[in-house]
Structure 1
Amino acid sequence: MGRCRSWLKALAIAAMFAAGIAAVSTLMPALRLLAGRRAAAFNDAIVVSWNRAVCRILNLHLHIHGRPDGNARLVVANHVSWLDIIALGAQGPCLFVAKREVADWPIMGYLAKGIGTLFVQRGDAAQSAAVAEQMAWQLRQGKRLVLFPEGTTTTGDRVLRFHGKLFQAAQLAGARVQAVALRYHGEARECAPFVGEDEFLPHLLGILQLDRIDLHVHYCASVAPGPGRNELAQTTRRQIVAALETHSPSCGLAVMNP
């Protein structure tokens, strides 16, 4: 990729991050003070528009399989990269549930806190229970929540065990759950994973070198909350594993460049 184009993308992304920081520092707090449905809808529109703009700058193409279920308020997905958050956030208003460490990421952590992300401390049962209650409250208000139940990222070649504790939120709220399988293709399959000791800024610079990012998003059939949180975790994990195993890039796809 030409060096000039990489620099232009870097400048555009820097401008978007600056705009995002300004929005979560000033505009969004003001909207929260106003309250009301219009203010909330405007707040959601800002976040979705920001994510879509970042997708366009990065030339991130979403290949959509299936469709979101409007009745499923809790979305669970395998986790590969911080790009997952941008991609899912570009498809409609939602709140994310993330590990506590995300709050400390440069730039993205500040933005995540500013848009109301719920943070969970891994290994803290009491805090996880409290977050599940917060999630249930949001679900009852009609909010759409996105959870990465693996609790960490992978290189995308496997799906780790799903932790069941936060699935309690769906049961408390009586909310349907939809599993979403994510898989990167092409150059992005090697470059997109954000794992281990990777640092955000160096990883972002690597992403900016890519001409194009292809992400396949497979929406599975939604499921009812079910009798037990662990069973719900296992069911949705099996759905994602099956979607990744049977996925064929040659099948009919809806391609979205937000």
Structure 2
Amino acid sequence: MSTWDSDTHPPHPAMGAGAWLRVVGRGLPLAVLVFGCLAVLLLVRLIERPLYGARRPVTPYITQFVCRSAFVLLGMGYRVEGEVMSGPGAVVANHSSWLDIFALNARKRIYFVSKAEVAKWPGIGWLARATGTVFIQRDRRTASAQVAVFQDRLALGHKLLFFPEGTSTDGQRVLPFKPTLFAAFFAPGLRETLSIQPVSVVYRGPTGADARFYGWWGDMDFGPHLLSTLAARRQGSVTVTYHAPVRVADFGDRKALASTLESRVREGLIRSLQP
């Protein structure tokens, strides 16, 4: 659940017969897609793991296929701007919704970095583990071990994705990036070689709907939000903008790095939201 909140939530229309038909018409194929491909991924992983270990040469393509297809089934527009960074590195993005997982995986093979609690969430935790999410403890005593995990995964060519806001919002703003997250990037062996690509994820609600329609924050429950998304008569769109990567070695400290990345992501959001 998001720790950010506002005074109001976007209104959602009552669920009539037509809305429930749209829920079934979109939700059933989406469930078949996600859980069917998850079964395929787990079977492939039985072969992939002993042969390649943490280096996943096949299964990320299954994840990409699912995420791209999800927007087709939802009837939701999906657009990409900018060039995806080549080579290993980290990615940071603003966080608005559970839909971010689909939006960011659809174009780029990435591995999310998430708080350890997510691994225990029913359903979502299982999906996260299956797709190679890196779980971290918010404890300084484990900082050196986490840096070692980051180094190992980056050495395999993985792109690790972080949400530096630490929570999700209504999609109309970018919260301050938490500089603590970036301390690991300044560790010897990472600072000299690591590049980070800032990414802006921007949602536009369905025509006539609240601009915050796809945002998921505060005490909003996942189930009702999913239902309202599936039930929309007309869907909106999401634009994912990849900005130029920055080199960690070009910054003196984590605060300067966090501030620059935050500014790039915010500028991309503001620019995309302009009429």
TM range (shorter): 0.7 to 0.9
Q: Are the aligned partners of 1:155 and 1:194 in contact in 2 as well (CA < 8 Å)?
A: yes
- CA distance in 2: counterparts of 1:238 and 1:89, whole angstroms: 23
CA 1:20 to 1:165, structure 2 compared with 1: closer, same or farther past 3 Å? farther
The structure having more radius of gyration, on CA atoms, is: 2
Maintained 8 Å contact 2:95/2:171? yes
1:2 positional shift: 5.5
Q: What is the Cα deviation at residue 71 of structure 1? A: 4.4
Contact map agreement 1:133 1:169 (CA 8 A) in 2:
no
Displacement of 1:128 in angstroms is 4.5
Q: Give the TM-score normalised by the residue count of structure 1.
A: 0.85
Which residue matches 1:107? 123
**Aligned pairs, how many?**
248
Question: Could you report, residue by residue, the CA deviation over 1:46-84 in whole angstroms, capped at 9, with x for unpaired residues?
Answer: 111121222221223222232212146211001011111
Distance 1:72 1:162, change over 3 A: farther
Q: 1:207 to 1:196 in 2, by over 3 A?
A: same
Deviation digits for residues 208-228 of structure 1 (CA, Å, limit 9, x no counterpart): 112323112222221111332
Give me the CA root mean square deviation: 2.5
Q: Which aligned pairs between 1:1-258 and structure 2 lie closer than 5 A? A: 3-35=20-52, 40-71=56-87, 73-122=89-138, 124-171=139-186, 172-173=189-190, 174-187=193-206, 189-210=211-232, 211-225=234-248, 226-247=251-272
Distance 1:92 1:31, change over 3 A: same
Q: CA deviation at 1:191?
A: 2.6
Q: Show CA shifts across 1:13-63 (max 9, x none).
A: 2212321442454432432122279x8322121111121222221223222
Relative to structure 1, the CA distance from residue 202 to residue 248 in structure 2 (aligned partners, 3 Å threshold; closer, same or farther) is closer
Contact 1:97 1:145 in 2 (8 A): yes
Q: Which moved more, 1:14-23 or 1:82-91?
A: 14-23
Q: Please give the alpha-carbon distance, in whole angstroms, between the structure 1 residues aligned to 2:42 and 2:58.
A: 16
- TM-score scaled by structure 2? 0.80
Contact 1:95–1:145 (8 Å) recurs in 2: yes
